[in-house]
Amino acid sequence: MRYWKAFSIMALGFLLGLIAGLLIPPSLTQLILDYMRDVLRRSGLNISLSPLLLMMLIFTNNLRVSLLIIVSGILIAGPLIILFINGAVVSAAYLYASSKTSPITAFLAIFPHGVVEIPAIINIAAASTIFWLNLWRKIMNKADIDISGEVITLLKQLALTAALLFVAAIIEAFVTPVIANIPIYNGLP
């Protein structure tokens, strides 16, 4: 499978998730957010973080998701499923934030870092899918594929994704609160 075909399929999966997230009833969104707040409170994690610490937490979480996407690729559809769920969460979070602020403020809270973060996640999902498809083709003797070359390509895409996620984390922690004019990092909304 060619990279841009895989990228397009993954982007479509994310877009379908965005649409599905718009269909989630507000009561279910509220229930999920209440559960997440409760888990965070019980964990003892201090939600009031410095922007630098917040940036590092965002980056490490997104990098963890990227690694999960790579591992999920063994199921071939794993990365697509994760992107679909991610899209649903993004639109549900947008709807929730819109109900608490305004649609424009909610958009400004998501868009600045999302414009970098979402393509980065789609990139690693596409690269992971290609890697696992080629590995399965090799295992089943359907193609003569240089697996070491495939690993190197996947690692290069992971490095690119990590760099983009680092930029997105900087934007989310330092720029987004200023652009959206919201103090969302001084506690749970």
Q: How far is CA 113 from CA 14, 26, 57, 125, 130, in A?
A: 16, 24, 15, 18, 26
Is residue 187 over pLDDT 60?
no
pLDDT tens per residue across span 106-139 = 899 899 999 999 999 999 999 999 999 999 999 9
Give the start-to-end residue ranges of the domains of the chain.
Answer: 3-39+50-180
Phi-psi domain of 2 (left: phi exceeds 0; alpha: psi -120 through 50; beta: other) = beta
Spatial contact of 136 and 1, defined as CB atoms under 8 Å apart: no
Q: How far is CA 172 from CA 18, 36, 177, 185, in A?
A: 20, 20, 7, 10
Spatial contact of 133 and 1, defined as CB atoms under 8 Å apart: yes
Cα angle 59, 75, 125 (rounded to 5 degrees) comes to 35
Is residue 186 over pLDDT 70?
no
What burial class does residue 85 get, using C-beta atoms within 10 Å of its C-beta: 0-12 exposed, 13-18 middle, 19+ buried?
Answer: middle
Higher pLDDT, 164 or 50: 164
Specify the pLDDT at position 2: 92
CA quadruple 133, 139, 144, 150: dihedral sign: positive
Q: What is the pTM of this model?
A: 0.87
